[in-house]
């Protein structure tokens, strides 16, 4: 019999779909309820962190895209507007990559966690630096050109994130 136990605003019954995951059942002995409970709780927290992060970055990408299309279009040069749009596009691409990680969160591997941070910091460094560079002339911030090397570093984080995602998928034998 399943008891409904409140756990941080969530109900244990929501975790049943995770319990049915064959990989999880095979990796844990069912006579250890505390181990199962802790493992499931960590998976739920990781999945929640991933989805909340993707949601926040997704909302910011929509706001940035609309701001660029409706407000900055009148103020930025065509070159800087293109830089702004590149930042928005790459932010969106990697929001979807982060969302996909929520599917892999049930495997609770270090690779999934590493991938999460690579994509998250890739968005911050790559898109964030492009947003600043695009608006540097408008804001008359000459110092912003010094952060130019941060953009390729963000790109390297994206590449590392995609490679890590592929390795995580291979190691976990996804269907």
- Please indicate, yes or no, if residue 126 is contained in any of the structural domains: yes
- Please indicate, yes or no, if residue 25 is contained in any of the structural domains: no
CA 90 to chain centroid, in Å, comes to: 12
Q: What is the C-alpha to C-alpha distance for residues 46 and 59, in angstroms, rounded to an integer?
A: 20
- Please indicate, yes or no, if residue 115 is contained in any of the structural domains: yes
- Please indicate, yes or no, if residue 116 is contained in any of the structural domains: yes
Q: What is the C-alpha to C-alpha distance for residues 23 and 35, in angstroms, rounded to an integer?
A: 15
- Please indicate, yes or no, if residue 6 is contained in any of the structural domains: no
- Please indicate, yes or no, if residue 5 is contained in any of the structural domains: no
Question: What is the domain extent for residue 99?
Answer: 48-171
pLDDT of residue 159: 97
Digits of tens for pLDDT over the chain (175 positions)?
A: 444 444 444 444 444 444 444 444 445 454 455 444 455 555 556 678 888 889 999 999 999 999 888 888 888 899 999 999 999 999 999 999 998 888 776 666 788 889 999 999 999 999 999 999 998 888 888 787 788 789 999 999 999 999 998 888 888 765 5
Q: What is the C-alpha to C-alpha distance for residues 52 and 49, in angstroms, rounded to an integer?
A: 5
* C-alpha dist (Å) from residue 65 to 89, 115, 124: 9, 25, 16
Q: What is the C-alpha to C-alpha distance for residues 72 and 164, in angstroms, rounded to an integer?
A: 36
pLDDT of residue 66: 92
Q: Are 16 and 2 in contact (CB under 8 A)?
A: yes
pLDDT of residue 104: 75
* Count of the separate structural domains present in the chain: 1
pLDDT of residue 9: 43
Helix (H) or strand (E) holding 2: none
pLDDT of residue 96: 93
- Please indicate, yes or no, if residue 148 is contained in any of the structural domains: yes
Q: What is the C-alpha to C-alpha distance for residues 66 and 62, in angstroms, rounded to an integer?
A: 6
- Please indicate, yes or no, if residue 137 is contained in any of the structural domains: yes
């Amino acid at each position: 019999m399943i008891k409904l136990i409140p756990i941080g605003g969530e109900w244990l019954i929501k975790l049943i779909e995770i319990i049915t995951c064959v990989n999880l059942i095979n990796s844990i002995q069912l006579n250890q309820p505390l181990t199962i409970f802790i493992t499931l709780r960590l998976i739920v927290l990781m999945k929640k962190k991933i989805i909340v992060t993707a949601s926040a970055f997704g909302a910011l990408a929509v706001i940035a895209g609309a701001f660029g299309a409706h407000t900055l279009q009148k103020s930025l040069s065509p070159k800087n507007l293109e830089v702004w749009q590149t930042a928005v596009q790459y932010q969106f691409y990697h929001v979807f990559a982060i969302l996909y990680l929520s599917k892999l969160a049930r495997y609770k591997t270090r690779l999934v966690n590493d991938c999460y941070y690579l994509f998250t910091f890739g968005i911050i460094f790559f898109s964030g630096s492009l947003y600043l560079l695009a608006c540097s002339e408008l804001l008359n911030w000459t110092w912003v050109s010094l952060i130019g090397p941060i953009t390729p570093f963000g790109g390297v984080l994206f590449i590392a994130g995609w490679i890590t995602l592929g390795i995580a998928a291979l190691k976990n034998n996804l269907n």
